[in-house]
Amino acid sequence: MSDTGGFFGTKERGAAWIFRGLLTLIMMLCTIVGWFGTRTLSGLDQKLNDVDKSTWSQITVLSKTEAELNTALTGLTATVNDHLHTDIDQDQNFKSLLQDHEIRIRTLEHSKP
C-alpha cells in the first residue's frame, strides 16, 4: 500500500531521496574533513622537513667540532708525551750526574792520605 500523493510520489521514493540526501551530506562532510586533514598534514610535513634539515645541520656542526677536538687532543697528547720524555731524560741525566759526583767524592775521600 503505497501513498500516491505528496512531493516524492511514494513513501519508498521519499525514503530513497532522503537517503541520497544524507549520503550526499556525509560525502561532503568527509570531503571537508579530508581537505582540512590534507592541509594540516602538508603543513606538518613541511615543519618536519625543516626540523629534519635543522637536525642534520646540527649533526654536521657537531661532527666538525668533534673532528677539531680530536685534532687538538692529538696535538696536546703529542706535546704532553714530548714533555714527559724530556722530563724522563732530564731525570736520568740528573741521576747519572749525581752518581758521577758520588763516585768522585768517594774517590777523593779514599785518595786522601
Query: In the predicted model, what is the mean pLDDT of residues 21-31?
Result: 97
Query: In which band, very low, low, confident or very high, does the pLDDT at 110 lie, cut at 50, 70 and 90?
Result: confident
In degrees rounded to 5, what are phi and psi of residue 62?
-65, -40
Spatial neighbors of 56 by CB under 8 A, at least 6 apart, are none
Return left, alpha or beta for 5; rule: phi > 0 is left, psi -120 to 50 is alpha, else beta: beta
Query: In the predicted model, what is the mean pLDDT of residues 48-59?
Result: 91
The whole-chain average pLDDT of the chain stands at: 88
Spatial neighbors of 73 by CB under 8 A, at least 6 apart, are none
Residue 42 has pLDDT above 90, yes or no: no
Q: How far, in Å, CA of 57 to CA of 65, rounded?
A: 12
Question: What's the pLDDT at 98?
Answer: 92
Return left, alpha or beta for 6; rule: phi > 0 is left, psi -120 to 50 is alpha, else beta: left
